[in-house]
Structure 1
Amino acid sequence: MKGMLLTASLLCLCAGVASAAQTTLTIESWRNDDIKIWRDTIIPAFEKANPDIHVVFSPSAPTEYNAVLDAKLKAGTAGDLITCRPFDKSLELYKAKQLISLNTLPGLQNFDAVAKAAWSTDDSKTTFCVPMASVIHGFLYDKKAFAELGISVPKTEAAFLAALDKIKASGKYVPLVMGTKDQWESATMGYQNIGPTAWSGETGRKGLISGKAQYNKGGFLTAFNSLAKWRPYLAPGYQALAYPDAQNMFAQGRGAIYPAGSWDIGTFRQMNPTLDLGAFAPYTIGSNKCVIDDHPDIGMGINAASKNQAAAKTFLSWVASDAFAQIYANALPGFFPLANVKYTLKDPVAQEFVKWRTQCGKSFRSSYQILSRNANPNNENDLWNASSQLLNGTLTPQAAADMVQKNLASWYAPQKGK
């Protein structure tokens, strides 16, 4: 009897030691819409492979995340893992020594320079967040409408405009579903969608940073000229059409083409599961090779004050793996892992978007790295304003380009006098 009690006591003691040995990691994030996916799918997969590490996903509201995170970091109560917004906000955290360098992290070699740019120092020498996913720009279309009107997927600007003419002539569908009320769509799904092909992707984007390229010359002006051609094909009253209004219009089958980001795939799947959704890449302009806007959206780094950095590195190495990519890409269709690893997508429209990575060059939004560090004027906000005014007919392409360039040159040294 005493032997049995002793054995039971030892078992309890061992269980207690095992429990105490388990490390708990807490993730800070703004993606509170992903709570169920993280808790039911992503975290269980990691914990199954790493039973000695327990992970807690603890998001804040997106609009409050920056302020909440800053307060927690100052108070020493922030989680071990910090979900990183792209570019300047995360760079500020690294410069403040609140994020650590991940240069030696196993798995970081799975990412190319474009993928790491949003979470690296300006000289590209230090990466401080693991790139998790990007969104890709392009066009969604109603396959039923295209079949009905006998339209093929356009690959060139001429074919794109011809398709719009045919749709408009039919009178059955709005050719291009996008409004200008919120402004950002005009730049994000308009100018930044078709622009990278016009300005040769990374060559043009880096040219703006170095001062070799300007918004009112070359490919950047060409993109404004191309965007202006959309105006006759937008919905009646498009100036008052907000982003949710455009989503509703397209989901109801009232429009043929929707300038999009891949993040809208999941939205339309929910809004109208019967919509026969298709996608095509940004059309080419002139003889330029196609370039897609493969825009970095979300990364993850390690809180410099974390006492569990070894476990946190284990988690981030897993985030850089094909196992994570497979789970994440299918749990959130339209958010594409940035790691150069093998994974398969179940959603056919998501498959179409990610296929463009092998067919086209890739870059990201021209205003996001370095060029929007000034509060007023701000390059990103200027592009919203200029692109929406262009589509509203209150600015010509040259005037829109001149406005953006003048404001950038007013504060950014490499562009002064250009």
Structure 2
Amino acid sequence: MKNLGRLTAGLCMLMAFSVGSAQKTQLTIESWRNDDLKIWRDTLIPAFEKRYPSIHVVFSPTAPTEYNAVVEAKLKGGTAGDIIACRPFDASLALYNAKYLSSLNSLAGMKNFTKVAKAAWSTDDGKTTFCVPTAAVIHGFLYNQDLLALVKGSEPKTEKEFISLLEAIKRRNSFIPLVIGTKDQWESATMGYQNIGPTYWGSEKGRLGLLNGTAQYNKGGFLEAFQALARWTPYLGQGYQSLAYPDSQNLFAQGRGAIYPAGSWDIATFRNMNPKLKLGAFPPYTAKAGQKCAVSDHPDIGFGLNAKSKNQAAAKVFLNWLAGDEFAQLYANALPGFFPMATVNYKVNDPIAQEFLSWRKSCDTTFRSSYQLLSRNANPNNENDLWNASSQVLNGKMTPKQAADFVQKNLASWFTPQKGK
């Protein structure tokens, strides 16, 4: 009966804003995604306003590096917009704990999200969700179809097949087998360790093991993932230690490398950089034959309700729309590689984006091990430690065991479930 009441209230609210009114309500969205302003302005907002003509929406982005500080200052000063773009986990949780964001538990559209999808925007006990999970990115590998054809290569399913393919490319000695740099460090962890890691540590079971203290970075699958990462080193391009992220993107886009450890977020980038590049994609390989693949399906962005918004009813109409199939269809195709998290029906037109999306059905899913709780400490910080350790493994400056011990020691120094482990 409680759920029926919530649904009835939600339908009444939707009807109220469907019929229009003499005066439009204006909603302002705060976001750090200034790169997709055109998509909101030309595609998403017009579709919403066509359905709800009594609501006018303004998308007001801030530079990504300035967003956290700017939006918090606006919320404190009472000048923030009605809808707040939410970064995953702690940054948004802090806003909710400060009573800047409202609970969305009663929002009708929240029924369209799984517990895992809501985890990035929920309280530690999982009882309250304060942002609508909007889009995730999926890890995997992109490859140049023409270059793989030159070595008669096929998409690898296991680590053994992956290394064999890299060997074949290396023997040709005319293009880079594996395109990734270590200068910026984060790629080594995000596109390396966190990409292949889930299959070694058992996907969500392993990630939760770090949270409850039954798993450690220097044992079992988490150590094995560092060992697997070290096996990439012989196949990286000359001078990879000095390559920054844009350098690696340029090398791959120019056709100078065969395989690119990636995330789905790079699909649109390569489409724009080189429309003639024949892209292929395969999921993270398994540790051995017969295993089920596992992918990091990582939460990227959500949207919450400013607790002090003067347009609460209209804002909830908009947030419900974000949770539905019309938004999912529009967003998934306007920004290929950023996937709606709602369990609704939508079709992705880009074939490579669709390939990434298909892995949700064929593989186990989890998200990056360091994001929930484990990077809450400023120094040492688990995410930063993984950047450092992963890049040093690829650079040959740390052995996998040294890297794993370093990350584990720092985590155990402050995270209670890991103390003494």
TM-score interval w.r.t. the shorter chain? over 0.9
Aligned mate of 1:306, from 309, 312, 320 = 309
Q: Secondary structure at the match of 2:207?
A: helix
Matched, 1:410 2:392: no
Matched, 1:202 2:204: yes
Q: For 1:181-330, what aligned pairs fall within 5 Å after superposition? A: 181-286=183-288, 287-330=290-333
Q: CA deviation at 1:288?
A: 3.6
Matched, 1:373 2:366: no
Tell which structure's C-alpha radius of gyration is larger.
1
What is aligned with 1:335? 338
Paired amino acid for 2:374: L
What is aligned with 2:17? none
Q: CA deviation at 1:148?
A: 1.7
Aligned mate of 2:358, from 350, 355, 358 = 355
Q: CA deviation at 1:193?
A: 0.1
8 Å CA contact 1:138–1:282 kept in 2: the answer is yes
What is aligned with 1:32? 34
- CA distance in 2 between counterparts of 1:168 and 1:309 reads 59
What is aligned with 1:4? none
- CA distance in 2 between counterparts of 1:163 and 1:97 reads 53
What is aligned with 1:11? none
- CA distance in 1 between counterparts of 2:202 and 2:344 reads 26
**CA offsets per residue over residues 276-304 of structure 1, 9 Å max, x none?**
01110000013542110000000000000
8 Å CA contact 1:198–1:288 kept in 2: the answer is no
Q: Secondary structure at the match of 1:28?
A: strand
Q: CA deviation at 1:322?
A: 0.6
What is aligned with 1:134? 136
Aligned mate of 2:153, from 151, 154, 158 = 151
Unaligned runs of 5+ in 2: 1-19
Q: CA deviation at 1:43?
A: 0.3
8 Å CA contact 1:200–1:288 kept in 2: the answer is no
Q: Secondary structure at the match of 1:21?
A: coil
Q: CA deviation at 1:374?
A: 0.7
What is aligned with 1:162? 164
- CA distance in 1 between counterparts of 2:50 and 2:113 reads 25
**CA offsets per residue over residues 314-337 of structure 1, 9 Å max, x none?**
101110001000000000011000
Aligned mate of 1:66, from 65, 68, 89 = 68
How high is the sequence identity, in percent, across the aligned residues? 71
Q: CA deviation at 1:149?
A: 1.2
Q: Secondary structure at the match of 1:295?
A: strand
Moved over 3 A (4+): none
Q: Secondary structure at the match of 1:107?
A: helix
Paired amino acid for 2:384: N
- CA distance in 2 between counterparts of 1:106 and 1:148 reads 53
Paired amino acid for 1:384: W
Q: When the two structures are superposed, what TM-score results if normalisation uses the length of structure 1?
A: 0.95
**CA offsets per residue over residues 185-204 of structure 1, 9 Å max, x none?**
00000000000111111111
- CA distance in 2 between counterparts of 1:164 and 1:106 reads 49
Aligned mate of 2:116, from 89, 93, 114 = 114
Q: CA deviation at 1:20?
A: 5.2
Aligned mate of 1:394, from 394, 397, 407 = 397
Q: Secondary structure at the match of 1:257?
A: strand
Q: CA deviation at 1:172?
A: 1.8
- CA distance in 1 between counterparts of 2:214 and 2:128 reads 25
- Between the two proteins, the alignment pairs up a number of residues equal to 401
- CA distance in 2 between counterparts of 1:182 and 1:371 reads 21
Q: Secondary structure at the match of 1:139?
A: strand
Q: CA deviation at 1:19?
A: 6.9
